[in-house]
Amino acid sequence: MDTLQARQLVIDIPGRTGGSPLNLTVEAGQVWGVLGPNGAGKTTLLHTLAGLRLPREGEVRLGEYPLTEVRRRSVAQQLGLVFQDRQDGFPATVLETALIGRHPWLSLWQMESGDDLNRAEAALKALDVVHLKDRLVSTLSGGERQRVAIATVLTQNPDTWLLDEPTNHLDLHHQVAVMQLLKQQAEAGRAIFMCLHDLNLAARWCDHLLLLFPNGEACWGHASQMLVPSALESLYNQKLITVEADGAPVFVPAKG
């Protein structure tokens, strides 16, 4: 599998001058979490890693090649992205939405086959939205739309998954279900790289973490090394209380 690699990467945030260059490799089987306060550049980083934005310095490599030299279609076969914001300009059903995940795999003249349809339905089933498949996406709740978006990337079936706040709008049960699904994908040999707001989800499910500070400084490594209360407190500028539950640390914001 081709790994995603950031080399001396500085993302382009308007008005930010400094920042430490990122040097990291997202390998098969790993689950990465990106933590940072609002405006730290988590989404920009994700879009830069997906090649949707150019970095200020450094480069992103997909396998042996710089991302900019790989054809968009070939990138889309290897790299999938769940966006935080989605626009629904035209009405589309849930099944149609999941099916567009097959786009990078079909040639110009190909129509979607029964196999593509099966993959889309299986993905919708895995995200527990298959009963909504004929509904218009615009009529769904926020959490249901989020699951449809994740199902679209599951249909796309890339080796590397980039996800921007995949648990947004999800209820507790579906948060766990989605994290479990991502963990399974990693165990099946895919690489997962996601931005998260919920420190505890990250602590529970991620094996690698990247902490992104508002001034552009960053540190990354094994989750066990990164989950240091003092570092997290300075990251969020918020005092934390650490307790242990179910074998993992749980961070609770302190009052006042």
Do the beta carbons of residue 33 and residue 205 sit within 8 Å?
Answer: yes
30: contact with other proteins by CB under 8 A: no
CA distance 164 to 214: 17
| Residue from 3, 37, 59, 93 binding other proteins (CB under 8 A) | 93
Q: Residue 76 interacts with other proteins (CB under 8 A)?
A: yes
Number of residues that bind other proteins (CB under 8 A): 34
Q: Assess 121 for contact with other proteins (CB under 8 A).
A: no
From residue 67, give the alpha-carbon distance in Å to each of 71, 148, 160, 164, 246.
Answer: 8, 27, 13, 20, 40
Residue 119 is a binding residue for other proteins (CB under 8 A): no
Query: Should residue 135 be labelled a site residue for other proteins when binding is judged by CB under 8 A?
Result: no
* 232: contact with other proteins by CB under 8 A: no
Comparing CA positions, the residue from 32, 13, 11, 31 lying closest to residue 22 is 11
User: Counting contacts by CB under 8 A, is residue 47 touching other proteins?
Assistant: yes
Taking CB under 8 A as the binding criterion, the range among 30-38, 47-55, 123-131, 231-239 that sits at the site for other proteins is 47-55
**55 binding other proteins? (CB under 8 A):** no
Our finding on whether 131 is near other proteins (CB under 8 A) is no
Integer angstrom CA distances of residue 158 from 35, 73, 103: 23, 12, 12
Question: Does residue 63 touch other proteins according to CB under 8 A?
Answer: no
Q: What is the rounded CA–CA span in Å between residue 82 and residue 165?
A: 8
Structural tokens at position 174: 């579906």
CB 231 within 8 A of CB 211: yes
- Binder among 38, 87, 230, 237 for other proteins (CB under 8 A): 87
Segment near other proteins (CB under 8 A); pick from 32-40, 104-112, 124-132, 177-185: 104-112
**Binding flag, residue 52, other proteins (CB under 8 A):** yes
Question: Of 2, 59, 96, 128, which one interacts with other proteins (CB under 8 A)?
Answer: 96
**32: number of Cβ within 10 Å:** 26
Cα separation of the two ends of the chain: 48
List contacts with other proteins (CB under 8 A): 47, 50-52, 72-77, 79-81, 83, 86-93, 96-97, 100-101, 103-104, 106, 108-109, 111-112, 156
